[in-house]
Structure 1
Amino acid sequence: MSLKVHHLNCGTMCPACERLVSGHGSWSRPGKLVCHCLLLETPDCLVLVDTGMGLQDIAEPRRRLGLTYPPLFKPLLALEETAIQQIRALGLDPRDVRHIITTHLDLDHAGGLSDFPWAQVHVLEPELKQIQQPGLREHLRFRLPQFKHRPNWVVHPERGESWFGLDSIQAIAELRDQVLLVPLIGHTKGHTGVAVNTDSGWLLHCGDAYYHHSELTASPNTPGFLKFFEVLIQAKPAARIANIKRLRQLAANHSGEIELFCAHDPVELARYHRPQ
């Protein structure tokens, strides 16, 4: 079964000066982060990997995004960047989105879930537990109003079969081994990557397992703001560090077979999408 892959930016953010975000440029110029999502066209349906910001986030940013996130990250909150609008712009029907796979449930990854209330939403079991049984840390981190529509959750275990030495779970039965969950715990308790088997090889969406493309190299040079935030928000530090090492090895040993990218690096998104 052939898959057509669209790389979407579903949320531009300008969180701090460019030097702190990208490691270069003027102190006064705004930096840029993106919400790199995937839209998969199959012969039978559409599949989203993450959703970025949604229509309701734009309409009600204070209720949906809270008081801290908007001034800190300065999201653009543009209607044309929402997944549902981009699907329409491609001439596709949003009602054909039957599956959504979330790398995790932070607000900049799950805001668009409410735009597709009919879709099955695939999530790892420990990730869903964070919003169903939230402690103080989870109440502060996750935006529970984004889930008021009661998503149609499909819960997956944390472990499965082996994929290039990593655990993997078949997420969608009808797609068999073409779309896999690859648990990358650490950023959150149920964080996962998503592997997509294309005609030209595997893509691995690493979510927020890392923030900057240099982290996959032998000499990482992560900008200060991103490095600080990466550590600040991690849920399981040892697991996060172990998984970034595994991803670094994967990138080094299988560069001809797998393309890796994270959710927020505009350099990585530029490989697949050039802004107009």
Structure 2
Amino acid sequence: MWEVFAVKYAENTGRRRRNHFIVQDDLHDTPHPIFYYVWAARRGNQAVVFDTGFARDLAASRGATYERTPAEALAAIGIDAASVRDVVITHFHYDHAGGIGAFPNARFHVQDAEMAYATGRCMLHAHLRKPFLCEDVTALVRALYDGRLVFYDGDAEPWPGIRLLRIGGHSAGLMSARIETEDGPVVLASDAAHFWETLAGEPFPIVYDMRAVLEGYQRLIRAAGGDANRVVPGHDPAVIRRYPSAGPGLAGVAARISGAAT
């Protein structure tokens, strides 16, 4: 079985509900912070990392407070980024695919559809390319030419107990992951569900395929055995509070994900 962790590296407390939900309501202008995480699954000496975050120099332009690099966040739970062999890039948006250079010995696991999307004609449209950074996509193309990319076309189980789920919707090749732990399955949604509220049908404004987004919520919950509390949203501040700390001194930095959130 795997141990699963969420590690926080940045936050933006200046965001409002109107920034995060398409459907506006009477609360649309109330504060709605967003936290930035990377995730890891560990079994013995093996670690699989999910996403690589964004670089410190982007924080100011994005209105974010940068607390630590993703590599530093992983080090807090005993994972050395330079030694990691496998990194899943759930999608190529700037806050998930930046800084792959911190993982010099890793292979990067991606979807065919995401590479085609990020390097194809859709990027002619400013609205669609806004969440991407050319340098991040270019770094992944370089990794491809170095033989360090592993491609999937749909769902896959690269490691026993970790199943990658192609959800799409928010981005063309977005992946989530169903991971077996001692306390049952947990599902790392990444941006298939930004917040627990999202699972109730409140879509995030950045959308590639709305049907895939909405059906993705149902699929995430099914993958979690019907329990939405076993789905770990990609950006919800409550993740770091609702799961126990990963160790002494790590409150607010790293949470141990197992079973359902309290």
Partner of 2:63: 74
Distance 1:195 1:115, change over 3 A: same
Kept in 1: contact 2:190–2:234 (CA 8 A): yes
Kept in 2: contact 1:50–1:110 (CA 8 A): yes
C-alpha distance in 2 between matches for 1:207 and 1:156: 17
Partner of 2:10: 11
CA deviation map 1:2-58 (0-9, x unaligned): 422222113312342479769999x78x642112321222334321112222xxx21
Distance 1:95 1:74, change over 3 A: same
Aligned length, in residue pairs:
235
C-alpha distance in 2 between matches for 1:275 and 1:93: 20
Q: Is the aligned partner of 1:144 residue 2:142? A: no
Partner of 1:243: 216
| Secondary structure, counterpart of 1:245 in structure 2 | helix
CA deviation map 1:109-140 (0-9, x unaligned): 11132211321111111011123335313544
Partner of 1:183: 166
C-alpha distance in 1 between matches for 2:80 and 2:185: 26
Partner of 1:164: none
**If each structure's helix is expressed as a fraction of its own residues, which one has the higher value?**
1
**Aligned sequence identity (%):** 21
Higher relative contact order (CA 8 A, sep 6+): 2
**If each structure's strand is expressed as a fraction of its own residues, which one has the higher value?**
2
Distance 1:153 1:132, change over 3 A: farther
Kept in 1: contact 2:9–2:66 (CA 8 A): no
C-alpha distance in 1 between matches for 2:19 and 2:174: 25
| Secondary structure, counterpart of 1:87 in structure 2 | helix
| Secondary structure, counterpart of 2:99 in structure 1 | helix
| Secondary structure, counterpart of 1:6 in structure 2 | strand
C-alpha distance in 2 between matches for 1:47 and 1:154: 14
C-alpha distance in 1 between matches for 2:118 and 2:19: 31
Gaps of 5+ in 2: 246-250, 254-262
Partner of 2:232: 261
Q: TM-score, normalised by structure 2?
A: 0.76
Kept in 1: contact 2:189–2:232 (CA 8 A): yes
Distance 1:74 1:92, change over 3 A: same
Correspondence for 1:155 among 151, 157, 176: 151
Distance 1:10 1:195, change over 3 A: farther
Equivalent positions of 1:1-276 (< 5 A) are 2-17=1-16, 31-53=32-54, 57-58=55-56, 60-61=57-58, 70-71=60-61, 73-78=62-67, 80=68, 82-134=69-121, 135-137=123-125, 138-149=128-139, 150-151=142-143, 152-158=148-154, 168-171=155-158, 175=159, 177-217=160-200, 222=202, 227=203, 230-231=204-205, 233-248=206-221, 254-255=226-227, 259-272=230-243, 273=245, 274-275=251-252
Q: TM-score, normalised by structure 1?
A: 0.73
Kept in 1: contact 2:171–2:207 (CA 8 A): yes
